[in-house]
Structure 1
Amino acid sequence: MEALAVRLSGLDPHVEGAIRVVAFYDTLMRRRVDLQALARASAGLAECVTGVLLHGTGRAIRVSPEGTAASAPPSPASSTTPITLDEEEIGTVWLERPGPPNPLDDVLLDRLAIAAAAAVERYGPARTTMADPALVELAISCDSEEAARARALRLLGFAADLPVRVVAVRSRLPLDRIGALICPSRPVKAAPLADVGVILATTVDQSAFPAGVRAGVGTAGSPERSWREARTALRFATPGRPVVPHEGLGALALLAQVSHDAVRDNADVAAIARLAAGAADAADLETLDAYCSTGSLRRAADLLHLHHSSVARRLEQLGKSLDIDLTEPTGLLRARLALTAWRLLDG
């Protein structure tokens, strides 16, 4: 390396300095130093305050050229570079240099970012959103021993005292994008399991799910119970209610425990199935769903963008087809339960 630097410096003096910076960080990486040591060494090399920030933890490290924590208020960064791991930006590094940047600052920050990503991956957990599916499955499986579950959660980046919510997702969107939207500033991990996406998060913003996503959200606490609740809630998700929290189901969650044979044999559910198989099933089911969801003729009409008299005529015909009086509270309850149970047959 030294001989190469000498030869190249004859062509461009800047090259020798860049190679020496690369060699400096190669040495640090071979010594497996942590983020604090990286920031301290970088501040000494750059001769200015150096910072490292991980998005997943929100923890910022600022070190002065003397190797101590920077006590002065942060100055505007003179140069910044993102830290990337597995093609995901997990943080940033920067220099707070007074005056114009040094010609080697870009090289220094580039190597610091690479070394920081290696340190995060080594001392972890890696703050990427996507995770090893086997590790996620170990964390949420009801068959896992508690010690193994705790270790899996720790490797995924969840502290022992943090409650974890599990979200079951069906979507064509990337899971890491969904996870970043619903839990932007706290630990979040995602992985596909069979045909369902799994997201583990400490908090879930249910209003932040993007369009086209159907999701069931388990309660915070035991991951295996939360996963079971999330899968159940996902079965209740519909186009009109794409995100379903398990705690919002109440007694409706009991329907998920009824056997498929019992559901199919029910006369009301069978009537819904015949309606769905009919030629006008899309409009009929949409009307019935709107009415069952709102419990009001006029609100259903607003939802469907139709005149209430048109909805009333549809409901009259639907009532005859189902043999249910939809104008009565009992009839409305029967229709809602039958429609929900029929949907559960297909998950």
Structure 2
Amino acid sequence: MEALAIRLSGLDPYIDGAIRIIAFYDTLMRRRVDLPALARASAGLAECVAGIRLHGTGRATRISPHGTEAPIPQSPASTTAPITLDDEEIGTVWLERPGPPGPLDEVLLDRLAIAAAAAVERYSPARTTMADPALVELAISSDSDEAARARALRLLGFAADLPIHVVAVRSQLPLDQIGSLVCPARPVKAAPLADVGVILATTVDRARFPAGVRAGIGAAESPDRSWQQARTALRFNTPREPVIRYTDLGVLALLAEVPQDTARRNADVAAIARIARNAEDLETLDTYCATGSLRRAADLLHLHHSSVARRLEQIAKTLDIELAEPAGLTRVRLALTAWRLLDD
């Protein structure tokens, strides 16, 4: 093979250069260098700034051809390439070459991306976000024994002494993207399971969920219990509050245990169902229940408070509940929540 490479290199300067680049990165990989060393070597080889960024951390390593940190602000990338590991794009590598890209820049970045993926695999146990759904299901299933659950968590990259939150997610966004955002420090794993996405993470930052994502967050208990809590919390979310922590539900979580036929037969829930046929009335009632204030509800609805008052007066007649009374408002809030928990 080496003899063939030598013969080929003599035929074409491009092939000669490409072979030398491949050999260069093969040597770096054998020496098991880390990401900063890869960026430094690449910048020296390319004679321009080289950069590496991992999506999971969001941090970029930029090295100048002199081996020092590249100056800020960052120049536009002249060439980029994705870092891929286990069929998941986990980061990006790039060159910041003044002027047009060099003829071998794509080859260099291709090998840098491969070397970076190898370094991540070597130095980061929980390196990718997407996981085998079968392992995730084994970790969160109530039918799993503790030995099987512990083994599944170990294979997923979680240490035995780490707390684990389970998150139930519904979103059009990729699960790995959501997982990396809400738990940027890792470890975090995600997998689709039946009708919902599952994220397992040691920490969950509720404020980092992207817009459009609906999620329920279980407490850091046994993963099977946390999964049940996450599914329950997911049922309670609304457009106004798309991400719910089970621990924030408190006594409201008991409503999820009420049989749906029982809830439907309740007079207050049935009255909410009738009001829900009119989207404006439902939004008005929901906003008033969320704020407890007529004027605040009017501000959020962009209506005059007298208009909101008239709507609420008609809604109160349909419900046969006095909304201005604390007890009546509590009844309506509970009925509205119970109605939302119905499947239809």
Q: Structure 1 length normalisation: TM-score?
A: 0.78
In structure 1, the residue matched to 2:76 is none
Are 2:51 and 2:94, in contact at CA under 8 Å, matched by a contact in 1?
yes
User: How many pairs align?
Assistant: 325
Are 1:35 and 1:116, in contact at CA under 8 Å, matched by a contact in 2?
no
After superposing the two structures, state which structure 1 stretch, 133-142 or 150-159, moved more: 150-159
In structure 2, the residue matched to 1:288 is 285
Map 1:1-347 to 2 at 5 A: 1-13=1-13, 15-16=15-16, 18-19=18-19, 21-22=21-22, 56=56, 75-76=69-70, 83-86=83-86, 88-90=88-90, 107=107, 110-118=110-118, 125=125, 127-276=127-276, 278=277, 281-346=278-343
Q: CA deviation at 1:318?
A: 0.6
Are 2:55 and 2:180, in contact at CA under 8 Å, matched by a contact in 1?
no
SS in 2 for 1:338: helix
* Structure 2: runs of 5+ lacking an equivalent: 62-66, 72-78, 96-101
AA aligned to 1:303 is L
After superposing the two structures, state which structure 1 stretch, 285-294 or 199-208, moved more: 199-208
Distance 1:169 1:262 in 2: 28
Distance 1:53 1:201 in 2: 22
SS in 1 for 2:185: coil
Are 1:158 and 1:187, in contact at CA under 8 Å, matched by a contact in 2?
yes
Are 1:58 and 1:185, in contact at CA under 8 Å, matched by a contact in 2?
no
Distance 2:153 2:54 in 1: 19
Are 2:56 and 2:181, in contact at CA under 8 Å, matched by a contact in 1?
no
SS in 2 for 1:249: helix
Tell me: CA distance 1:146–1:246, structure 2 relative to 1, closer, same or farther (3 Å).
same
Q: Structure 2 length normalisation: TM-score?
A: 0.78
Are 2:126 and 2:158, in contact at CA under 8 Å, matched by a contact in 1?
no
Are 1:55 and 1:185, in contact at CA under 8 Å, matched by a contact in 2?
no
Q: CA deviation at 1:258?
A: 1.1
Are 1:52 and 1:93, in contact at CA under 8 Å, matched by a contact in 2?
yes
**How far does the alpha carbon of each residue in 1:2-50 deviate from its partner, in whole angstroms, 9 at most, with x for none?**
2322222222345335325536766998x9x8666xx79x97xx89xx9
Are 1:90 and 1:128, in contact at CA under 8 Å, matched by a contact in 2?
yes
Q: CA deviation at 1:153?
A: 1.9
After superposing the two structures, state which structure 1 stretch, 164-173 or 245-254, moved more: 164-173
AA aligned to 1:265 is R
Distance 1:152 1:90 in 2: 23
AA aligned to 2:220 is A
**How far does the alpha carbon of each residue in 1:134-192 deviate from its partner, in whole angstroms, 9 at most, with x for none?**
11111111222222222222222222232221111111222222222222232222211
Distance 1:176 1:289 in 2: 33
SS in 1 for 2:273: helix
Tell me: CA distance 1:85–1:126, structure 2 relative to 1, closer, same or farther (3 Å).
farther
AA aligned to 1:149 is R
Tell me: CA distance 1:282–1:113, structure 2 relative to 1, closer, same or farther (3 Å).
same
Distance 1:287 1:60 in 2: 47
Distance 2:221 2:195 in 1: 24
Q: CA deviation at 1:340?
A: 0.3
Q: CA deviation at 1:331?
A: 0.8
After superposing the two structures, state which structure 1 stretch, 317-326 or 164-173, moved more: 164-173
SS in 2 for 1:332: helix
Q: CA deviation at 1:309?
A: 1.1
AA aligned to 1:258 is V
Distance 1:305 1:321 in 2: 24
Q: CA deviation at 1:207?
A: 1.7
